[in-house]
């Protein structure tokens, strides 16, 4: 069972994350030959597209992904901004 406190998350942070999930969906593309995974967040409706700053959402997701890999697996790494 997932316990958010294992990763230092509060109930408020979990609720905020679930709120984002009410407005965005994700698409995960797996490139086996290139050994690469692509994750894209996509607004569910046109109204959601107006409400969300997708650049900020992508930045936050990248930070959370890096933090999660460090916390769970002890991985070191960096975020490379390609734009």
pTM of the model: 0.68
- Who contacts 44 (Cβ-Cβ below 8 Å, separation ≥6)? 22, 23, 24, 25
Range in 9-18, 23-32, 49-58, 63-72 the model is least confident about: 9-18
Question: Which among 61, 59, 63 is positioned nearest to 21, based on CA atoms?
Answer: 61
pLDDT tens digits, one per residue of 34-62: 999 999 989 999 998 888 888 888 888 88
Q: Residue with structure tokens 């997701």?
A: 61
Residue 66 pLDDT > 70: yes
Give the range among 7-16, 24-33, 39-48, 69-78 with minimum mean pLDDT: 7-16
CA distance 29 to 39: 6
């Amino acid at each position: 069972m997932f316990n958010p406190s294992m990763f230092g998350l509060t109930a408020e942070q979990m609720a905020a994350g679930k709120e984002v999930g009410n407005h965005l969906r994700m698409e995960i593309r797996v490139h086996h030959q290139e050994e690469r995974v692509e994750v894209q967040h996509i607004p569910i409706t046109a109204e959601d597209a107006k409400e969300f700053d997708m650049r900020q959402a992508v930045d936050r997701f990248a930070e959370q992904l890096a933090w999660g890999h460090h916390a769970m697996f002890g991985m070191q790494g960096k975020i490379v901004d390609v734009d």
